[in-house]
Structure 1
Amino acid sequence: MALTAMERIRAAEEAVEQLRTELDRAGVVLPSLRIDPLTCGGHVLFPLVDLGRCNMDMALRLVAVLAGTYSGEGAPPVGDTPSSAPAERS
C-alpha cells in the first residue's frame, strides 16, 4: 500500500525532528532546518529535508562534529578545520 501525502509529510516531519534533536545534542543548531515545502505536494516518495542556512561558526561546528573532532567548546578556528591541514609530502 502506498503512503498518502499526509503520511509522507508526517514521516518527513518526524525525520526533521529526530535530526534537530541529534544535531542539538551535538551542539549544532540549523535554524532553517525544515521540510522543503515544494516537494510536499509532488510525486516524490518523501519530501526533501531542507537543511537551510547557518552562520560560519555553525558550519565549522558541523564540520567538527562530522569529523569527530568537536569538543563541545565550539568550532575550531577558521583555517583550522580537519580539511585544512597541509597534506604530507612523500
Structure 2
Amino acid sequence: MAAQRPKTQAAREAEELCDELRTALRAVGVTLPSVRVDPVLWGDEQSVPSLIDLGRCNFGTARRLVEVVSKEREL
C-alpha cells in the first residue's frame, strides 16, 4: 500500500469547495452524492486541482436541479 502524501493547500481548498457545494445543494433539496475533486489530477504532485466532478444523478435529482437553477434565473 502506497503512503499517502500530505495534501497541498490547493487540495484542501478543493475539498472544502466540494463540501460547500454539497451543503449549498442540500439546502435547496438537491443531493449529488458523487461530488468530489477530480481524482485524475492527483496522479501528479505538481498538478493543482482545478476540476470538481459532479458525478451522475437520477432523473428526480436532475429535475430538482433544473427547478432550482430555473427559479434562480427568474430572480
Q: TM-score, normalised by structure 2?
A: 0.76
Q: Which residue type is aligned with residue 11 of structure 1?
A: E
2:41 maps to which residue? 39
Q: What SS does the corresponding residue of 2:8 show, helix, strand or coil?
A: helix
RMSD over equivalenced CA pairs, Å: 1.7
Q: How does 1:21-32 map to 2 (within 5 A)?
A: 21-32=23-34
Bigger Rg, structure 1 or 2: 1
Question: RCO greater where, 1 or 2, for CA within 8 Å and sep 6 or more?
Answer: 2
Distance 1:6 1:25 in 2: 29
Deviations 1:10-48 (A, max 9, x none): 010010000000000000000111111101344554331
- Conservation of the 8 A alpha-carbon contact between 1:33 and 1:52: yes
Higher helix share: 2
1:9 maps to which residue? 11
Report percent identity of matched pairs: 45
Ranges in structure 2 where 5+ consecutive residues have no aligned partner:
1-6
Ranges in structure 1 where 5+ consecutive residues have no aligned partner:
70-90
- Conservation of the 8 A alpha-carbon contact between 2:30 and 2:64: yes
Deviations 1:31-77 (A, max 9, x none): 111111101344554331000011000001000000017xxxxxxxx
